[in-house]
Chain A
Amino acid sequence: MKPNFRNWPVLLVLLVFSAPLLIMLAFLLVDAFTTKVPGTMIPNGVTLHHFRFLWTDLDDGSWGIWGVTLNTFNFALFTSLAVSAISLTAGYALSRLAFPARGFFLGSLIVLHAFPTVTLIIAIFLILQLLGLYNTLIGVIVVKAALELPFGIWVMKGFYDTVPWEIEMAGVQDGASRFTVWWQLVLPQVQPGLMAILIFSFLSGWSEFILPMVLAPGTEAQVLSTYLATMLLDGGTQADFNLFKAVGLFYALPVAIIYLIFQNKLMNIYGGGTKG
């Protein structure tokens, strides 16, 4: 089959615009595994020395990389689970039930989704301190999940809207309870949306920086993003940039892997769900 138009001009444009990104990525990769004489561009040796943080204690007062990674993982996972669970139920309610002030809720979702988070951070800080959740992982998870929710709920509502009402009524007529109908008949049809939200909010949690930095600056609740930042700040001008790059690579690897595995599922969110 012949395509309607030539591909290469499009590819060329895309390539030109992504070139800076690709070059930077290449440098990240190369620098993380090589040594070179300061002031030169060409590496003069291969090394795993920059990855020493994986097996030795860097003595920087933190938990060590594995503890921080576990924190990051927990943070991302529980954020993602909370967002998914709530979106799954709230989206259904917004799509199907005619409860009071439904329009107001829908409007608020959009506004909240577009709201710049940073402006809220002082208020959140105060609230967390009041609740005794300041400087804890749980506190950051709660805040992060809350901020991710509008997006999740909106997407799930979109997916629910595409499920015909008659299917649920047919289920009820077939003798199933409302819960069974939701669980067995509706949920399988919005499952792509659920997957997308699980993955998106996991990735979003994994890369979150501002919230953990402001709301949990202590070492206890440190995550990889803040770990990286501390490394940069503490080192000052003597900061080991190769070490930094290696940690960065370690930090980015799961994201790349998840994207590779789930890219089809993530595309779904644009295909099926967002009409609304």
Chain B
Amino acid sequence: MRISIENFTKTFGDTTVIDNMSLDINSGEMLALLGPSGCGKSTTLFAICGIHRMNGGRLLFGDRDVTKVSSQKRNVGVVFQNYALYPHMNVYDNIAFPLKVRKESKAEIDRKVQEIATLVHIGELLQRRPAQLSGGQQQRVALARALVRKPDILLLDEPLANLDAKLRLEMRSEIRRIQLQTGITAVLVTHDQVEAMSMCDRIAIMDEGRIVQLSSPKEMYEDPSSDFVAGFLGNPPIAFLEGSVDEAGFRLANSEVTLPVPAGITLPGPGSAMRFGIRPEFFQPDNALKVKGRISFVETQGREELYDVTLENGAVLRSIQTQGGSYRVGDEVTWGIAADRILAFGPDGDRL
């Protein structure tokens, strides 16, 4: 089911949390709402499922205008961050609740509960109470309860935030598997870029109630529209070099060093501020565009090593390399930047 949010505005008292947002989510796609804490992700999600009334704008499911339709009639399944399982019911009754409310027959309920329990792999847990389940199992039950009545849309509010690292990895692929298997349109709220990139078809990155960029994970990573987006995606994060426009191109702040500007970029007027964004994988010993610096930090990540290189003017570049370089803190190095992968940003942070 396609979701169209048109000119959505949401205010709490005097503060406008979302201002005039428009967003189209394609049928069968999984979209991530990604952004820092407090940017309005949950608010958007709760508007889609009807917990929050919209102060302005329209919401369409397919061709149907649901702006004024009550939560109960929207047929949206929601998985809350803390799962919100009903503590006094066992797993079976939790999953059956939406069906019982709909007054379906006992046989029908039983068939559907068994079916969904098999899908999310909790068949043997049906008689347990939520308190007797692990976090990952509770997560599966919440997912089953949201899916059992075949909703048109599935909404997930930070579904993995309460899980430990290993379970998170497992549930990431599980949720994606279930979403693909059911073909449901899903919206995932997260502030974890890895989650968004690995699970979703498209990412809508939000900042202060606005959607800053909407594109596929790969596109967003390689072609960010602003320094905010570039900084949000990627782990270890991108490094920024501050500087300004000069006859020779880009001159680093507090330094005589200049770097050539990548081709096809229209520079702002001479003297205006500018930033270069360089991802760790594009700052390597072998690249052509050399800069000098001193290693200020080494982090061993097992397969890879992460180096922080402090340049003469105090700016820091990051480099990630497969193990074996055996560089130490304090070493003088002259490494190179992949000139064609430099991301240049103008004074207002927009991509040039």
Interface residues of A (CB under 8 A from B): 164, 166-167, 169-177, 180, 185, 188-189
Which B residues, 79 to 107, have Cβ-Cβ distances below 8 Å to chain A?
Answer: 80-82, 84, 86-88, 97-98, 101-102
**Also in contact, A170 and B88, with CB within 8 A (given A175-B98, A175-B101, A176-B101):** no
What would 30 A/B residue contacts be, using CB atoms closer than 8 Å? Answer: A164-B82, A164-B84, A166-B80, A166-B81, A169-B51, A169-B78, A169-B84, A170-B78, A170-B80, A170-B86, A170-B145, A171-B86, A171-B97, A172-B51, A172-B71, A173-B51, A173-B71, A173-B77, A173-B78, A174-B97, A174-B101, A175-B72, A175-B98, A175-B101, A176-B72, A176-B101, A177-B72, A180-B101, A185-B86, A189-B87
Instruction: Kindly state the separation between the CA atoms of A188 and B88 in the bound complex, as whole angstroms.
Output: 7
Is A175 in contact with B102, judged by CB distance below 8 angstroms?
yes
Residues of chain B at interface, number, CB under 8 A: 21
Instruction: Kindly state the separation between the CA atoms of A189 and B82 in the bound complex, as whole angstroms.
Output: 17
- A163's nearest neighbour on chain B, judged by CB, is B87
**B5 part of interface (Cβ distance < 8 Å):** no
- A170's nearest neighbour on chain B, judged by CB, is B84
**Other-chain residue from B76, B86, B87 in contact with A173 (beta carbon distance below 8 A):** B76
CB neighbours of B275 from chain A (8 A):
none
**B149 part of interface (Cβ distance < 8 Å):** yes
Interface residues of B (CB under 8 A from A): 49, 51, 71-72, 76-78, 80-82, 84, 86-88, 97-98, 101-102, 145-146, 149
CB neighbours of B102 from chain A (8 A):
175
Instruction: Kindly state the separation between the CA atoms of A167 and B51 in the bound complex, as whole angstroms.
Output: 12
CB neighbours of A176 from chain B (8 A):
72, 97, 101
Which residue among B51, B76, B81, B145 has the maximum number of chain A CB atoms within 10 Å of its CB? B51
CB neighbours of A189 from chain B (8 A):
87-88
Query: Nearest 7 A-B pairs (CB), nearest first?
Result: A166-B84, A174-B98, A170-B84, A188-B88, A166-B80, A176-B101, A173-B78
Nearest CB of A to B54, in Å:
17
Nearest CB of B to A59, in Å:
55
Instruction: Kindly state the separation between the CA atoms of A176 and B149 in the bound complex, as whole angstroms.
Output: 13
Given contacts A170-B86, A176-B101, list 8 more A-B pairs with CB under 8 A. A164-B84, A166-B81, A171-B86, A172-B72, A173-B72, A173-B146, A175-B102, A176-B97
CB neighbours of B82 from chain A (8 A):
164, 166
Instruction: Kindly state the separation between the CA atoms of A169 and B49 in the bound complex, as whole angstroms.
Output: 10
CB neighbours of A173 from chain B (8 A):
49, 51, 71-72, 76-78, 146
Instruction: Kindly state the separation between the CA atoms of A58 and B88 in the bound complex, as whole angstroms.
Output: 53
CB neighbours of A169 from chain B (8 A):
51, 78, 80, 84
Instruction: Kindly state the separation between the CA atoms of A223 and B87 in the bound complex, as whole angstroms.
Output: 43
- A166's nearest neighbour on chain B, judged by CB, is B84
Nearest CB of A to B187, in Å:
14
Is A167 in contact with B98, judged by CB distance below 8 angstroms?
no
Instruction: Kindly state the separation between the CA atoms of A171 and B87 in the bound complex, as whole angstroms.
Output: 12
CB neighbours of B101 from chain A (8 A):
174-176, 180
**Other-chain residue from A166, A172, A174, A180 in contact with B145 (beta carbon distance below 8 A):** A174
Instruction: Kindly state the separation between the CA atoms of A173 and B80 in the bound complex, as whole angstroms.
Output: 11
Instruction: Kindly state the separation between the CA atoms of A164 and B85 in the bound complex, as whole angstroms.
Output: 10
Instruction: Kindly state the separation between the CA atoms of A167 and B94 in the bound complex, as whole angstroms.
Output: 11
Is A175 in contact with B84, judged by CB distance below 8 angstroms?
no
- A168's nearest neighbour on chain B, judged by CB, is B84
Instruction: Kindly state the separation between the CA atoms of A172 and B78 in the bound complex, as whole angstroms.
Output: 10
Nearest CB of B to A56, in Å:
51
Instruction: Kindly state the separation between the CA atoms of A185 and B97 in the bound complex, as whole angstroms.
Output: 10
Instruction: Kindly state the separation between the CA atoms of A175 and B77 in the bound complex, as whole angstroms.
Output: 10
CB neighbours of B76 from chain A (8 A):
173
CB neighbours of B81 from chain A (8 A):
166
- A169's nearest neighbour on chain B, judged by CB, is B51
Nearest CB of A to B258, in Å:
55
